[in-house]
Amino acid sequence: MNNTLSLRESVRYLSILVLVIVVMLYPDRLQFVLLISWISIIIIDGNVRYLPFDNKPLYFMRMTLYFLPFALPTLIFLNIKVEINAQTLIYCAVSVIAFCVWLLINFKSIKLTLSDLVIANAPKENKYVMLLRAYNAVGSTVCEELFFRSFMLSLGIPFWITILLSTVYFMLSHYTVPWGAQFSIGDIINQLIFGTISAFLFLLSGSILPSIVLHLLLNSPTFARMVRVYNRHYVRATYYDKLLSAPDNLNNLTL
Protein backbone atom coordinates (compact mmCIF):
# COMPACT_ATOMS: atom_id res chain seq x y z
CA MET A 1 0.00 0.00 0.00
CA ASN A 2 1.41 3.39 -1.07
CA ASN A 3 0.93 6.01 1.63
CA THR A 4 2.79 8.74 -0.28
CA LEU A 5 0.76 11.77 -1.28
CA SER A 6 0.45 12.40 -5.00
CA LEU A 7 1.45 15.77 -6.43
CA ARG A 8 -2.18 16.83 -6.87
CA GLU A 9 -3.04 15.78 -3.30
CA SER A 10 -0.08 17.76 -1.99
CA VAL A 11 -1.16 20.81 -4.00
CA ARG A 12 -4.70 20.42 -2.67
CA TYR A 13 -3.51 20.52 0.96
CA LEU A 14 -1.14 23.38 0.19
CA SER A 15 -3.99 25.40 -1.31
CA ILE A 16 -5.89 25.08 1.98
CA LEU A 17 -2.81 26.10 3.98
CA VAL A 18 -2.36 29.22 1.86
CA LEU A 19 -5.92 30.31 2.55
CA VAL A 20 -5.43 29.68 6.27
CA ILE A 21 -2.46 32.06 6.12
CA VAL A 22 -4.58 34.62 4.24
CA VAL A 23 -7.23 34.43 6.97
CA MET A 24 -4.55 34.94 9.63
CA LEU A 25 -3.03 37.94 7.83
CA TYR A 26 -6.33 39.54 6.86
CA PRO A 27 -8.92 38.32 9.39
CA ASP A 28 -12.33 39.08 8.00
CA ARG A 29 -15.65 37.31 7.46
CA LEU A 30 -15.22 37.02 3.67
CA GLN A 31 -11.72 35.52 3.95
CA PHE A 32 -13.06 32.91 6.38
CA VAL A 33 -15.98 32.20 4.01
CA LEU A 34 -13.46 31.72 1.20
CA LEU A 35 -11.51 29.17 3.25
CA ILE A 36 -14.61 27.19 4.23
CA SER A 37 -15.98 27.36 0.68
CA TRP A 38 -12.75 26.08 -0.84
CA ILE A 39 -12.56 23.15 1.60
CA SER A 40 -16.21 22.34 0.87
CA ILE A 41 -15.62 22.46 -2.89
CA ILE A 42 -12.68 20.05 -2.59
CA ILE A 43 -14.69 17.61 -0.47
CA ILE A 44 -17.77 17.75 -2.70
CA ASP A 45 -15.83 17.43 -5.97
CA GLY A 46 -13.95 14.48 -4.56
CA ASN A 47 -17.04 12.55 -3.49
CA VAL A 48 -20.04 13.60 -5.58
CA ARG A 49 -18.97 11.28 -8.41
CA TYR A 50 -20.14 8.38 -6.25
CA LEU A 51 -23.72 9.39 -6.99
CA PRO A 52 -24.80 6.96 -9.76
CA PHE A 53 -25.50 8.20 -13.28
CA ASP A 54 -28.10 5.49 -13.91
CA ASN A 55 -30.49 7.10 -11.41
CA LYS A 56 -31.85 10.26 -13.04
CA PRO A 57 -32.61 12.33 -9.91
CA LEU A 58 -29.29 11.42 -8.31
CA TYR A 59 -27.38 12.10 -11.51
CA PHE A 60 -29.06 15.52 -11.76
CA MET A 61 -27.97 16.19 -8.17
CA ARG A 62 -24.47 15.03 -9.01
CA MET A 63 -24.13 17.35 -12.00
CA THR A 64 -25.57 20.26 -10.00
CA LEU A 65 -23.25 19.75 -7.04
CA TYR A 66 -20.25 20.00 -9.35
CA PHE A 67 -20.92 23.72 -9.80
CA LEU A 68 -23.49 25.02 -7.28
CA PRO A 69 -21.03 25.34 -4.34
CA PHE A 70 -19.05 27.86 -6.40
CA ALA A 71 -22.04 30.22 -6.60
CA LEU A 72 -23.19 30.09 -2.97
CA PRO A 73 -20.59 32.46 -1.39
CA THR A 74 -21.43 35.19 -3.89
CA LEU A 75 -25.19 34.68 -3.72
CA ILE A 76 -25.26 34.58 0.09
CA PHE A 77 -22.65 37.12 1.15
CA LEU A 78 -22.50 39.68 -1.66
CA ASN A 79 -25.11 41.99 -3.11
CA ILE A 80 -24.91 41.20 -6.82
CA LYS A 81 -26.26 43.78 -9.23
CA VAL A 82 -26.16 43.02 -12.94
CA GLU A 83 -26.27 46.29 -14.83
CA ILE A 84 -25.98 46.47 -18.61
CA ASN A 85 -24.51 49.81 -19.59
CA ALA A 86 -22.11 51.16 -22.20
CA GLN A 87 -19.03 50.15 -20.18
CA THR A 88 -20.31 46.60 -19.72
CA LEU A 89 -21.03 46.27 -23.44
CA ILE A 90 -17.58 47.59 -24.34
CA TYR A 91 -15.88 44.95 -22.21
CA CYS A 92 -18.22 42.26 -23.55
CA ALA A 93 -16.91 43.29 -26.99
CA VAL A 94 -13.37 42.96 -25.63
CA SER A 95 -14.29 39.42 -24.52
CA VAL A 96 -15.43 38.60 -28.05
CA ILE A 97 -12.17 39.96 -29.49
CA ALA A 98 -10.12 37.92 -27.01
CA PHE A 99 -12.10 34.83 -28.00
CA CYS A 100 -11.49 35.48 -31.71
CA VAL A 101 -7.74 35.68 -31.07
CA TRP A 102 -7.85 32.42 -29.11
CA LEU A 103 -9.93 30.83 -31.88
CA LEU A 104 -7.41 31.78 -34.54
CA ILE A 105 -4.55 30.38 -32.46
CA ASN A 106 -6.33 27.08 -31.81
CA PHE A 107 -8.30 26.80 -35.06
CA LYS A 108 -6.53 23.70 -36.40
CA SER A 109 -6.97 21.65 -33.22
CA ILE A 110 -10.61 22.74 -32.85
CA LYS A 111 -11.29 21.91 -36.50
CA LEU A 112 -9.83 18.44 -35.98
CA THR A 113 -11.82 17.88 -32.79
CA LEU A 114 -15.06 18.77 -34.58
CA SER A 115 -14.28 16.91 -37.78
CA ASP A 116 -16.70 14.27 -39.02
CA LEU A 117 -14.22 11.44 -38.58
CA VAL A 118 -13.51 12.29 -34.94
CA ILE A 119 -17.20 12.79 -34.20
CA ALA A 120 -18.01 9.48 -35.93
CA ASN A 121 -15.80 7.70 -33.38
CA ALA A 122 -17.35 9.43 -30.37
CA PRO A 123 -19.02 6.97 -27.97
CA LYS A 124 -22.80 6.97 -27.72
CA GLU A 125 -24.36 8.28 -24.53
CA ASN A 126 -27.86 8.36 -23.13
CA LYS A 127 -29.81 11.50 -24.18
CA TYR A 128 -30.43 12.42 -20.55
CA VAL A 129 -26.73 12.14 -19.74
CA MET A 130 -25.85 14.35 -22.70
CA LEU A 131 -28.42 16.94 -21.64
CA LEU A 132 -27.07 17.04 -18.10
CA ARG A 133 -23.50 17.38 -19.38
CA ALA A 134 -24.57 20.48 -21.30
CA TYR A 135 -26.42 21.74 -18.21
CA ASN A 136 -23.28 21.19 -16.15
CA ALA A 137 -21.09 23.00 -18.66
CA VAL A 138 -23.27 26.12 -18.61
CA GLY A 139 -23.76 26.02 -14.84
CA SER A 140 -20.04 25.60 -14.21
CA THR A 141 -19.22 28.54 -16.46
CA VAL A 142 -21.52 30.94 -14.62
CA CYS A 143 -20.86 29.70 -11.09
CA GLU A 144 -17.06 29.59 -11.48
CA GLU A 145 -17.07 33.22 -12.60
CA LEU A 146 -19.24 34.17 -9.62
CA PHE A 147 -16.75 32.53 -7.25
CA PHE A 148 -13.34 33.23 -8.77
CA ARG A 149 -14.11 36.70 -10.03
CA SER A 150 -17.13 38.26 -8.29
CA PHE A 151 -16.37 36.81 -4.84
CA MET A 152 -12.60 36.40 -4.71
CA LEU A 153 -11.95 39.83 -6.22
CA SER A 154 -14.18 41.45 -3.59
CA LEU A 155 -12.30 40.27 -0.51
CA GLY A 156 -10.97 43.69 0.46
CA ILE A 157 -7.32 42.60 0.55
CA PRO A 158 -4.40 44.00 -1.50
CA PHE A 159 -5.05 44.11 -5.24
CA TRP A 160 -2.15 41.89 -6.30
CA ILE A 161 -3.14 39.18 -3.80
CA THR A 162 -6.73 39.03 -5.05
CA ILE A 163 -5.56 38.78 -8.67
CA LEU A 164 -3.11 36.02 -7.74
CA LEU A 165 -5.66 34.08 -5.68
CA SER A 166 -8.36 34.38 -8.33
CA THR A 167 -6.08 33.22 -11.14
CA VAL A 168 -4.24 30.42 -9.35
CA TYR A 169 -7.27 28.97 -7.58
CA PHE A 170 -9.26 28.98 -10.79
CA MET A 171 -6.55 26.79 -12.30
CA LEU A 172 -6.39 24.61 -9.18
CA SER A 173 -10.15 24.03 -9.30
CA HIS A 174 -9.55 22.13 -12.54
CA TYR A 175 -6.17 20.60 -11.72
CA THR A 176 -6.93 19.20 -8.25
CA VAL A 177 -10.21 17.44 -9.10
CA PRO A 178 -10.12 13.63 -9.45
CA TRP A 179 -9.99 13.83 -13.26
CA GLY A 180 -7.31 16.55 -13.24
CA ALA A 181 -4.53 14.01 -13.72
CA GLN A 182 -4.92 14.54 -17.48
CA PHE A 183 -3.91 18.19 -17.15
CA SER A 184 -0.79 19.10 -19.09
CA ILE A 185 1.57 22.04 -18.60
CA GLY A 186 -0.14 23.69 -21.58
CA ASP A 187 -3.53 23.29 -19.90
CA ILE A 188 -2.21 24.89 -16.72
CA ILE A 189 -0.77 27.84 -18.64
CA ASN A 190 -4.01 28.32 -20.59
CA GLN A 191 -6.02 28.30 -17.35
CA LEU A 192 -3.71 30.89 -15.78
CA ILE A 193 -3.87 33.14 -18.84
CA PHE A 194 -7.65 32.93 -19.04
CA GLY A 195 -8.00 33.50 -15.28
CA THR A 196 -5.87 36.64 -15.47
CA ILE A 197 -7.78 38.06 -18.44
CA SER A 198 -11.13 37.27 -16.83
CA ALA A 199 -10.07 38.92 -13.56
CA PHE A 200 -9.10 42.15 -15.31
CA LEU A 201 -12.33 42.12 -17.33
CA PHE A 202 -14.27 42.01 -14.07
CA LEU A 203 -12.19 44.68 -12.35
CA LEU A 204 -12.15 47.08 -15.31
CA SER A 205 -15.81 46.69 -16.25
CA GLY A 206 -17.25 46.49 -12.74
CA SER A 207 -19.51 43.70 -14.00
CA ILE A 208 -19.34 39.93 -14.05
CA LEU A 209 -21.01 39.75 -17.49
CA PRO A 210 -17.85 40.21 -19.64
CA SER A 211 -16.11 37.40 -17.75
CA ILE A 212 -19.10 35.09 -18.19
CA VAL A 213 -19.31 35.96 -21.89
CA LEU A 214 -15.62 35.13 -22.41
CA HIS A 215 -15.92 31.89 -20.45
CA LEU A 216 -18.99 30.80 -22.44
CA LEU A 217 -17.26 31.62 -25.73
CA LEU A 218 -14.16 29.64 -24.78
CA ASN A 219 -16.41 26.70 -23.93
CA SER A 220 -18.32 27.00 -27.22
CA PRO A 221 -16.22 24.29 -28.96
CA THR A 222 -17.27 21.93 -26.16
CA PHE A 223 -20.91 22.85 -26.69
CA ALA A 224 -20.49 22.43 -30.45
CA ARG A 225 -19.01 18.97 -29.92
CA MET A 226 -21.95 17.97 -27.71
CA VAL A 227 -24.38 19.02 -30.45
CA ARG A 228 -22.42 17.18 -33.13
CA VAL A 229 -22.15 14.00 -31.06
CA TYR A 230 -25.91 14.11 -30.49
CA ASN A 231 -26.38 14.61 -34.23
CA ARG A 232 -24.03 11.69 -34.93
CA HIS A 233 -25.95 9.17 -32.81
CA TYR A 234 -29.54 10.39 -32.88
CA VAL A 235 -30.04 12.35 -36.13
CA ARG A 236 -27.56 11.26 -38.81
CA ALA A 237 -26.34 7.92 -37.47
CA THR A 238 -26.49 6.27 -40.92
CA TYR A 239 -24.23 8.92 -42.47
CA TYR A 240 -21.57 8.53 -39.78
CA ASP A 241 -21.77 4.74 -39.83
CA LYS A 242 -21.11 4.80 -43.57
CA LEU A 243 -18.23 7.18 -42.98
CA LEU A 244 -16.62 4.71 -40.59
CA SER A 245 -17.07 1.91 -43.10
CA ALA A 246 -15.15 3.94 -45.71
CA PRO A 247 -12.49 5.85 -43.74
CA ASP A 248 -10.35 6.48 -46.81
CA ASN A 249 -12.86 9.00 -48.12
CA LEU A 250 -11.25 11.78 -46.09
CA ASN A 251 -11.51 14.41 -48.79
CA ASN A 252 -15.29 14.50 -48.42
CA LEU A 253 -15.27 15.20 -44.70
CA THR A 254 -17.13 18.36 -43.71
CA LEU A 255 -17.45 20.32 -40.50
Q: What was the pLDDT predicted at 38?
A: 96
Distance CA 131, CA 34 (A): 31
**Average pLDDT of 52-77?**
92
Q: Cβ contacts of residue 213 below 8 Å, gap of 6+?
A: 92, 95, 96
Q: Average pLDDT of 147-170?
A: 93
Total domains present in the chain: 1
| Alpha-carbon span 208 to 198, nearest angstrom | 9
Q: What share of the chain is helix, strand, coil (3-state, %, to 5)?
A: 80, 0, 20
Q: Please tell me the pTM assigned to this model.
A: 0.91
pLDDT at 254: 47
CA pair distance 212, 138, nearest whole angstrom: 10
155 domain residue, yes or no = yes
Mean local confidence (pLDDT), 133-155: 95
Identify the pLDDT of residue 8. 83
Q: Is residue 97 domain-resident?
A: yes
Q: Is residue 2 domain-resident?
A: no
Specify whether the CB–CB gap between 249 and 120 falls below 8 A.
no
Residue 187: closest CA among 150, 218, 151: 218
C-alpha neighbours within 13 Å on the C-beta side of residue 129? 9
Confidence of residue 208 (pLDDT cuts 50, 70, 90): very high
* Region 44-61 average pLDDT: 89
Residue 191 lies in a domain: yes
Residue 101 lies in a domain: yes
Tell me the residue range of the domain where 129 lies.
Answer: 7-252
Which strand (E) or helix (H) includes residue 104? helix 86-105
Asked if residue 255 has pLDDT above 60, the reply is no
Q: Is residue 1 in a domain?
A: no
Q: What is the pLDDT of residue 249?
A: 54
Considering the domain boundaries, does residue 201 fall inside one?
yes
The predicted pLDDT at position 46 comes to: 84
pLDDT over 70 at 248, yes or no: no
Cα–Cα distances (Å) from 76 to 71, 151, 163, in that order, read 9, 10, 22
User: Is 47 in a helix, a strand, or coil?
Assistant: helix
The residue type at 196: T
Summarised one tens digit per residue, pLDDT across range 70-126 is 999 999 998 776 778 999 999 999 999 999 999 999 999 999 999 998 999 999 989
- What band does 178 get if pLDDT is binned at 50, 70 and 90? low
More confident site: 140 or 3: 140
- Has residue 132 been placed in a domain? yes
